[in-house]
Structure 1
């Protein structure tokens, strides 16, 4: 008989593992059990408070999600279970954020959570616990022989294919890590990476462990040593955004207090987040509170001139119950989507969970379409509804937003909307338009475009593309294209989100917007800088970027409403 490799046969005998290794595995077993039980409690009870305690549980989760792959990569006990765990771990760290993001962005998903993503996380803790239990029951020294028949061609082919996939994952991780650390734009990759970096770190760890497990016959080779070093470096780099959270929060607190004269932690309400970032929510998703939504309501149909043929809609999100005891109390939040003035849409394309979140807090949230330019698309393959595209300038887009304000003001009583307390928010191109509409409305010089019945109490731009329309061939009045020119001493306060590594809209633009406030003698602008964050880094609602900003945004709106 020909022999190949090392593989334990059925001669494993139960025994008692001893020493430090046994203690560590026993601890990991206990942590898996706690993670599984805690996860079941977290997703069923959906606790609103005790965030500090739940973050302690989240740290324990991280220990488990780091320790389990390392444990699975070592030893010869129950390789099928180890392979199953590592495969699920590696794939799960890609699937879980994708499913969480999909559930979060779905307008009518009332929970904003993915049951399948939750099931994957809980299954990882279950399999990890079984693997630890198996290692305690069958010490490696009890393996009596380590050879088996040569595996068939299919098994060898599958092993090679999985090893190639793991190598490709690590190569992708090298490129992703480079992009995370530099300010060079990588297009869509830049938008997708920073907020998901912790998932990617754990994915790299799983791929490293799986590759080493598959190469168990060559554990001392140079290739394995390189894989270990590369895997460790990638994990460390991709954990940097999480590591930077405490310093980011300290800086944000100082910015908020300097601009608005109040420590944000002192602004409290039963409906508020009690901590800026929740590790368990990063993995399980952030549940939405009670809200109702009406979609695709037409507010304008163009019949002549440049507007001929366009048809603009909005969605409205409202609290499920009376808003009187909620922080919003019927205040209005108008949200304007981004997309380089040439693509984008309301709904899932405008991070719908933000709308759900503030509707549940008692705000009447309007997610609004506006006419898009027919210039070359910001992203070529992006689909855009034909009914919103035309030869529009920035002035036309602001005018469309103004048409919505009049339509909404006429129906304010129907929605329970308080026109004396309005906030306008948007991201990128939507941030530029939010700034333009809000400052023009507050300045009173564009009453022919924007309804004077609305009183703007605050602006919340995300990485605003002020002054950039002309660079992509879109004309407009200078001060509407660059709303920093509209800032006055009594302009409404602004809370600004900006990633330090934004390669699409330079951070200097947000800094210039804040400086315009200071130059006008207006201290009411706070710039919240997100370390290592890029353009669109608020895409994942539960991330260490977006969720802390929601913490400040809810307090900003409550303070100024």
Structure 2
């Protein structure tokens, strides 16, 4: 067979496979997003969907030109499929006005004239730019300094570290951001897997960022309790056989820091920061707590509990927390547990026992466990009669890992009822961890635009 014919057949095969994958993506994102494959695809979808337009158009053109030429019926089907995939791919981008309108309305209501007169010289000029999505955001390493793996606490068994981002030029002290990584409480670390792009960007804006470790729940025990079988076995085997991967992903391997311990360790960092603020040019009168996913759960507890007597002695009183930044946060972990247990989270019913073990060492009564769930849930802490700093929540409305309606929107509604200063930025057609994959996506741009303004407005 002529080699040109072989190449043509290969190109046609690739084109058909591409469209088939596109149809699969469509169903996973818009129909089956409660399943584990759907959840995983939705996490990356909003970050890559705009680029997929070209991936769909080119193979459709190839099929129409070289295989279905003259076959009107099948050609119309291919055109229809291509049109559906293209339209759904641009939804995250073309729906940005709704996210922007909602955020603008809330900022104007909360800050009024201060927001409209804010000096935005060094900030993003607009919430979303399609040019920026393809060209990227310029973050010059010459504008910042990064120091990695600095010790802040040693408990005798483990040493905890942080990475430090600071402006290269200028005079400190600078407002400080304590950045808490995510990872389902038993995975994750400071550094590359905690959105370094944002840490660098915001440091260049005149902040010092402390990207901290805080200890992890025992991944081995969690996997055994959850009975995750093949997935857990593969993950655990990789961690055992690849120590470099283990150090990056599970720095406190085979240790068990429960949620109470994790919050206490973050408290140790607040003490370290208070004692070393001059060395790190940190303005401890302007401190912000930030986190993503499980890290946002921690940030919510720390931020909403900082001035709460329930955490007396845990956090350093010399720090003044000006604001809290929560990306896709679990704000009510009792509801998270209940959703896992009854299967309404779809992919997670087997995780419920492991999740309960993150709080309960096995000695708690049901009543005690209920109290712990509430103590370590921002949705309950904001209802207590104590000072709570202003909060901004960023959440994708297709999130099925930390459900948007229940955790992000639900928290915002409670904050409104309690007359707390809270802003909710809803990212349309975005799943969990939407900003991790692509630092140019609509969600990354919109969230960064409003977060940098929130920070600037709250600095005193």
TM-score past 0.5 threshold: yes
Cα deviation, residue 184, structure 1: 2.6
Q: Deviations over 1:329-352 (max 9, x none)?
A: 600011111111011111111111
* Partner in structure 2 of residue 315 of structure 1: 163
Listed as ranges, the matches of 1:250-289 within 5 Å are: 250-261=101-112, 264-289=115-140
Cα deviation, residue 221, structure 1: 5.1
Contact 1:394 1:480 in 2 (8 A): no
Larger Cα Rg: Structure 1 or Structure 2? 1
Task: Report the CA distance shift for 1:227/1:362 in structure 2 as closer, same or farther (over 3 A).
Answer: same
The Cα RMSD (Å) is 2.2
* Partner in structure 1 of residue 26 of structure 2: 177
In 2, Cα distance between the equivalents of 1:210 and 1:510? 44
Listed as ranges, the matches of 1:214-229 within 5 Å are: 214-215=66-67, 218-220=69-71, 222-229=73-80
In 2, Cα distance between the equivalents of 1:323 and 1:276? 29
* Partner in structure 2 of residue 297 of structure 1: 150
Q: Does 1:525 align with 2:422?
A: yes
Task: Report the CA distance shift for 1:387/1:339 in structure 2 as closer, same or farther (over 3 A).
Answer: closer
Task: Report the CA distance shift for 1:275/1:332 in structure 2 as closer, same or farther (over 3 A).
Answer: same
Gaps of 5+ in 2: 240-244, 338-351, 361-371
Equivalent of 1:510, from 400, 408, 427? 408
In 1, Cα distance between the equivalents of 2:396 and 2:146? 31
Equivalent of 2:376, from 473, 481, 489? 481
Q: Does 1:376 align with 2:227?
A: no
Q: Greater RCO between the two (CA within 8 Å, min separation 6)?
A: 2
Equivalent of 2:434, from 531, 537, 547? 537
Cα deviation, residue 519, structure 1: 3.1
In 2, Cα distance between the equivalents of 1:265 and 1:273? 15
In 1, Cα distance between the equivalents of 2:34 and 2:53? 21
Q: Secondary structure at the match of 1:397?
A: helix
Q: Deviations over 1:427-454 (max 9, x none)?
A: 1111000011122223254242222221
Contact 1:335 1:365 in 2 (8 A): yes
In 2, Cα distance between the equivalents of 1:267 and 1:446? 35
Contact 1:345 1:384 in 2 (8 A): no
Q: Does 1:388 align with 2:236?
A: no
In 2, Cα distance between the equivalents of 1:371 and 1:480? 19
Contact 2:115 2:457 in 1 (8 A): no
- Regions of 4+ moved over 6 Å: none
Listed as ranges, the matches of 1:449-468 within 5 Å are: 449-468=314-333
Listed as ranges, the matches of 1:68-147 within 5 Å are: none
Task: Report the CA distance shift for 1:532/1:323 in structure 2 as closer, same or farther (over 3 A).
Answer: farther
In 2, Cα distance between the equivalents of 1:161 and 1:320? 52
Contact 2:332 2:380 in 1 (8 A): no
TM-score of the pair, normalised by structure 2: 0.81
Work out the number of aligned pairs and report it: 399
* Partner in structure 1 of residue 456 of structure 2: 558
Listed as ranges, the matches of 1:483-502 within 5 Å are: 483-487=378-382, 488=384, 490-502=387-399
Cα deviation, residue 214, structure 1: 3.6
Task: Report the CA distance shift for 1:454/1:384 in structure 2 as closer, same or farther (over 3 A).
Answer: farther
Q: Deviations over 1:280-308 (max 9, x none)?
A: 221121111411100111222332xxxx2
Q: Does 1:162 align with 2:6?
A: no
Contact 1:336 1:426 in 2 (8 A): yes
In 1, Cα distance between the equivalents of 2:312 and 2:175? 21
Gaps of 5+ in 1: 1-151
* Partner in structure 1 of residue 53 of structure 2: 201
TM-score of the pair, normalised by structure 1: 0.67
* Partner in structure 2 of residue 334 of structure 1: 178
* Partner in structure 2 of residue 413 of structure 1: 278
In 1, Cα distance between the equivalents of 2:107 and 2:54? 33
